[in-house]
Amino acid sequence: MAFFVLLKCLPAALLLLSICASPAAAGRKLVSGATTPTSSSMAERHEQWMAQHGRVYKDAAEKARRLSIFQSNVEFIESFNKEGKHKYWLATNQFTDLTNEEFKATHTGFRKTAAAAATVKGFRYENFTAPSSMDWRKRGAVTPIKDQGQCGCCWAFSAVAAMEGITKLTTGKLISLSEQELVDCDVHGEDQGCEGGLMDDAFEFIIKNGGLTTEAKYPYGGVDGTCRSPTSAAAAISGYEDVPANDEGALMKAVANQPVSVAIDAGGSGFQHYGGGVFSGECGTELDHGVTAVGYGKASDGSKYWVVKNSWGRTWGEKGYIRMERDVEAEEGLCGIAMEASYPTAS
């Protein structure tokens, strides 16, 4: 028996949290935040930020609470960037009015499920000699950045991005496929729509379902819905394989061949406020988010990185992507990126 963790998909439900944060937690934050007077220029920045991100608060008290969190985050971001010793920088984004506790809050909903140990399916890229860099975006195998919004279905976005990749590689066509079909229809196994899921289970469903339809025909709604079937499949997969765990070398061989679904720990404040550069942590290995490795390379200063496609829109990170440090000391990889990687196969 092995334990698999349903990916609850940070930062699902964050907008909800920002409205429904528990009074106790919010109260504590308010007290600590209120010790620093908020300058009018900070209030102005907060207004601009609200307009930019379409944020609306339910009342003045909530707005004041969010302004104080916004201010402490902006101060954190600016002091981090001023240190000038990091390979990455932080920036304001849609998460700047959330405490890291709120950002991480989806950890608490973690459901560990006992599942049969994954059957060994072989690793077809075992003997492949990977080139020193790869970027599937440049080869037309990656669709534009999507946004999961408030629904915790990162697992669907991760699986779909990997499937879009193998579909391009086997058919020559880049087709944006439907996450919502997974959210609505993959409900009889471990996957739980907006409440979390696993990429491997998504692949299992897609195989049984005979494929997935297009994003255009079954658009993303961002909430759990009723399965609209039958749908006509626009692409199919024939199987999936797990990358040998805790082996960044194996992950490199896989990513050299196709976009790969990876699970990471995305709960840290560095991840929350990531602006760009080669992210080097801090983060743990409590896997809570599904994303897709779409390349790897080396920066001009020699830092090796993974190119990771996220599903938080283009306002986060490097236009929706993050470069994460590669070949780190820990065998799990940075933020556990080498722990649960897998990819679909198509014949």
Ligand X SMILES: *[C@@H]1O[C@H](CO)[C@@H](O)[C@H](O)[C@H]1NC(C)=O
What one-character DSSP code corresponds to residue 88? E
Residue 232, classified by CB atoms within 10 Å of its CB into exposed (0-12), middle (13-18) or buried (19+), is exposed
Out of 35, 40, 127, 300, the only residue in the binding site for ligand X (CB under 6 A) is 127
Using CB under 6 A as the binding rule, the residues of this chain from 254 to 313 that contact ligand X are: none
**CB 344 → ligand X: shortest distance, Å?**
17
User: Catalytic annotation on 154?
Assistant: yes
Question: Hey, what long-range contacts does 211-214 have (CB within 8 A, 24 or more apart)?
Answer: 211/235, 211/236, 211/237, 212/160, 212/163, 212/177, 212/178, 212/181, 212/182, 212/236, 213/177, 213/178, 213/181, 214/175, 214/176, 214/177, 214/178
Q: Which of 257, 283, 289, 335 is catalytic?
A: 289
> What does residue 166 show for φ and ψ, rounded to 5 degrees?
-70, -30
Contact with ligand X (CB under 6 A) among 58, 111, 121, 124: 124
- Of 76 and 128, the one with the shorter C-beta distance to ligand X is 128
Question: How many residues of this chain bind ligand X (CB under 6 A)?
Answer: 3
Q: Which residue is nearest to ligand X (CB)?
A: 127
Sole residue written with tokens 């499937």: 163
Nearer to ligand X, 126 or 331 (CB): 126
Is 151 a known active-site residue? no
User: Toward ligand X, which CB reaches closer, 124 or 208?
Assistant: 124
Kindly indicate which of the ranges 58-66, 124-132, 165-173, 332-340 contains the residues binding ligand X, using the contact rule CB under 6 A. 124-132
Minimum CB distance to ligand X, residue 126 (Å): 4
The stretch near ligand X (CB under 6 A) out of 57-65, 119-127, 163-171, 188-196 is: 119-127
Distance between first and last Cα of the chain = 30
Look up 289 and say whether it is catalytic: yes
Handedness of CA 267, 273, 275, 279 (dihedral sign): negative
Quick one: which segment of 78-86, 120-128, 129-137, 177-185 binds ligand X (CB under 6 A)? 120-128
Q: Which stretch binds ligand X (CB under 6 A): 19-27, 91-99, 122-130, 179-187?
A: 122-130
CB of 207 to ligand X, least distance (A): 21
**Which is nearer to ligand X, 241 or 318 (by Cβ)?**
241
Q: How far is CA 82 from CA 85, 206, 216, 272, in A?
A: 8, 47, 44, 18
Neighbours of 55 (CB within 10 A): 17
Q: How far is C-alpha 48 from the geometric centre of its chain's CA atoms?
A: 26
Least distance (Å) between residue 346 CB and ligand X: 17
Catalytic residue among 9, 151, 153, 154: 154
| Contact yes or no for 175/167 (Cβ under 8 A) | yes
Q: Which stretch binds ligand X (CB under 6 A): 86-94, 121-129, 228-236, 336-344?
A: 121-129
Both structure tokens of 70: 């916004």
Report the nearest approach of ligand X to the CB of residue 127 (Å): 4
| Residue 247: CB minimum distance to ligand X, A | 14
Tokens of residue 130, six digits: 């990977």
Measured from the CB of residue 169, what is the shortest distance to ligand X in angstroms? 18
What is the C-alpha separation between 232 and 84, in angstroms, rounded?
52
Does 121 help bind ligand X (rule: CB under 6 A)?
no
Cβ-contact 68, 34 below 8 angstroms? yes
Q: Please, are residues 219 and 324 in contact by the beta-carbon 8 Å criterion? A: no
Residue 99 has what DSSP assignment?
A: -
Q: Active site residue: 9, 153, 310, 335, which one?
A: 310
Interface residues toward ligand X, by CB under 6 A = 124, 126-127
Active site residues: 154, 289, 310
